[in-house]
Amino acid sequence: MAIPIQRTFADLGTPLHEVSFCVLDLETTGATPADCEITEVGAVKFVGGEPAGTFDTLVNPGAPIPPTITVLTGITQAMVIDAPEIGEVLPALLEFIGTSVIVGHNVRFDMSFLNAAAERLGYGRLPNPTSDTLGLARRLLPGEVRRLNLQSLASYFRSPVTPNHRALADARATAHVFWGLLERAGTIGVTHLDDLLRLPTAKGSPHYKKIELTERLPRRPGVYMFRDKDGNVIYVGKAKNLRSRVRSYFYGDSRRSVAQMMRDLAGIDHYVCDTEIEAEVTELRLIHANAPRYNRRSRPPRSPQYVKVTAEEFPRLSVVRTLRDDGCIYLGPFRSRRVANSVVAAIWDAVPIRRCLTRGGKRSPACNFAQLGVALCPCDGSVSPAEYQAVVSRLREGIEAHPGELLGPLVARIRDYARTARFEEAAEMRDRHRALRKALDDRRNWGVLRDAGLLWAEDDNGDSLLIEQGRMVSSWAASAQAPLSTTAAHARSPHLVPESVAAAEEARLLWRWLDRPGVRIVEATRPLATPRHPIPVLTSLAG
């Protein structure tokens, strides 16, 4: 059974002077733990930069030591014959290491043997973070030291202990090299554990020096903004740890867009947020306010698109860019005309509303849609306003009260297509169903938030959110005090759908947070009431 080891670095933003380090070196009978064993263990522990103990023992490998290893290390079979086996050594070594960060030169080699022994003896792999002096030297000493083996680095940093392929001596030499590398790392802003652990992966790009722009960033949740030399916002992002997230861009992200962005980067601004939802909303607002060129997927569209039920004698569906207070039914806003057209096609598949644009009359021929029987078009004068009103009423009922009126026929058609192996048509109908369902869901949720006025909600963590008609007013963590009361009444928005894509996406974020388990309404100016009929979910193509 594995022995639990309590880790103390859940927050890797620990200052380096507070971190406990255990510098480790192993001698072995060969190169791989699959068929080789440990012959010696040496370790030096440091707390607060000061020595806190040493660990040194030979280990009986339970197998012959190859002559080449004896020549290299000086460890003979006679020296280990009375030494303890690894099963006796490992418990004491694990206790000595504790929760320290394990340091080594080419530490992966030492950890492979240590983890293999720990797993074989039932302790499980060590969860400790590791730091490799070889990786640090590659990052910090490019071109300064010809060879990066331990002997060369120890000489470069003038170690008082010369490495000699004995575990404790090599561990002490590695420790001296490690302190020299830490001093060098401090000159480029590596002051905390998370910086140190990520440093070896940083690529030597010409933009790495810009990492100094991150020095003022706190290790707190919030939103960051990248600016170019002209002060324009080029990217907005959110993070649980601002400093760690922003510095990660300098640690080997090979995406072409990131390389281009880092080339343009000249300054970094940030906002600290008390809660995760506040960071999400703030990020969204800043993206829509600045339209950063590197936020390609989330940049606001040039103009929103709405699906409108027109106010004609024989109403039809129209895709428009302007939301008017004209009493008409609207769905949206949508990011693109393509999505709006998909919603229109879904409604056409669900109800036989007019599709043609002809005013028509008794002498006009029926349009193609009417002849095919897919739409009740008045173009030939055979449809009375009263007959057509039944279609419009069904459409209004599906949008405003009973979504099954519109989604039900689509589900039936999807299943028919699936049963007859018309899978491409079924997939197309599924996509239309998805677009319409999302549009109905967004419209309904917006209406609920709009009608609730001002509300105060709180989650299980004690984090609170103040929402006014689908827009975040403020947010505060459990340790803070509520910024204002919710006793005053507020006028409702005149529109039944959001006035912009930004407002729609913010309302969607807030609704998602409100719908999470554990979130409760503390106070509201009006009831938060959802419609009686739920929006059905499509579970599969068949059945």
**What's the pLDDT tens digit per position in 416-434?**
999 999 999 999 999 999 9
Q: How far is CA 77 from CA 32, 33, 90, 187, 530, in A?
A: 19, 19, 21, 47, 79
Burial of 15 (0-12, 13-18, 19+ CB in 10 A): exposed
Q: What is the pLDDT of residue 494?
A: 66
What's the rounded Cα separation, in Å, for the pair 456 and 482? Answer: 9
Q: Which of 326, 294, 298 is nearest to 312 (CA)?
A: 326
Q: What is the pLDDT of residue 143?
A: 84
Q: What is the pLDDT of residue 481?
A: 54
Q: Which of 458, 459, 487, 454 is nearest to 472 (CA)?
A: 454
Q: What is the pLDDT of residue 485?
A: 45
Sheet bearing 222-227, strands edge to edge: 233-239, 222-227, 267-272
Buried b (16+ CB within 10 A) or exposed e, 219-230: bebbbbbbbbee
Q: Is 270 noted as a catalytic residue in this protein?
A: no
Q: What is the pLDDT of residue 492?
A: 57
Q: Are 390 and 383 in contact (CB under 8 A)?
A: no
Which three-class secondary structure string do you get for 231-299? CCEEEEEEECCHHHHHHHHHCCCCCHHHHHHHHHCCEEEEEECCCHHHHHHHHHHHHHHHCCCCCCCCC
Q: What is the pLDDT of residue 330?
A: 97
Q: What is the pLDDT of residue 204?
A: 52
Q: Is 38 helix (H, G, I), strand (E, B) or coil?
A: strand
Rounded to two decimals, the pTM is: 0.71
- Mind listing the pLDDT tens digit for each residue in 501-540? 999 999 999 999 999 999 999 988 888 888 878 887 776 5
Residue type, 449: L
Residue numbers in the chain where pLDDT is lower than 70: 1-13, 202-206, 252-254, 359-363, 478-494, 539-543
The single residue of 17, 105, 165, 207 carrying the catalytic annotation is 165
Domains of the chain from N-terminus onward: 16-195 (3.30.420.10), 202-290 (3.40.1440.10), 305-442 (no CATH), 446-524 (no CATH)
Q: What is the pLDDT of residue 1?
A: 31
